[in-house]
Amino acid sequence: MHNPYLALMHQQVQLERKTAVDADGQSVFAAPVPVPCRVVRAPTRLTLATGDEVIANELVWCPVGTNLQAEDRVTLPDGRVALLKRVDVAPDPRGRVWSEKGFCV
């Protein structure tokens, strides 16, 4: 079925999947992969699973199936690098999921 929201995803981020944590406790990321998206500046207060509160400055909307994960890293269209701290799906009014949204910190 055609995704009606793809036309709105006219930007691109470079997605780097978190693959491991090294001996020093630093995150290790896979090579960047271009992903179509829509980046929206929307400061949002998040409460993480750890109980920490953070402010996400951008939302990155990607097509369903991108499989965004918390702690993945993205390079935004303006060159800034951000971590995804929370990922949600975004169903339409009928409950169909067409996109994923990642909250960038």
46 within domain boundaries: yes
Per-residue pLDDT, 32: 98
The continuous run of DSSP H or E covering 45 comes out as strand 33-47
Q: Answer yes or no: is 83 within a domain.
A: yes
What CATH number corresponds to the domain at position 73? 2.40.10.270
What pLDDT is recorded for position 84? 97
Whether the full predicted model's pTM is greater than 0.85, yes or no, is yes
The pair phi, psi for residue 3, each rounded to 5°, is -85, 110
Residue 49's pLDDT is 85
What total of structural domains would you count in the chain? 1
Across the chain, mean pLDDT equals 93
pLDDT < 70 regions, the chain = 1
C-beta atoms surrounding 79 within 10 Å = 7
Query: Encoding tokens for residue 37?
Result: 């998206």
Output the pLDDT for position 15.
98
Residues 6+ apart with CB under 8 A from 13: 34, 35, 37, 39, 60, 62, 74, 75, 76, 77
Q: Let me know if residue 1 belongs to a domain.
A: no
- Residue 50: inside a domain, yes or no? yes
The predicted pLDDT at position 6 comes to 82
Range of the domain at 52: 6-104
pLDDT for 1 equals: 66
Distance, in Å, from the CA atom of 47 to the CA atom of 76, rounded to the nearest integer, reads 23
- The SS3 of residue 63 is strand
pLDDT score, position 3: 81
What's 1-21 look like in SS3? CCCCCHHHCCEEEEEECEEEE
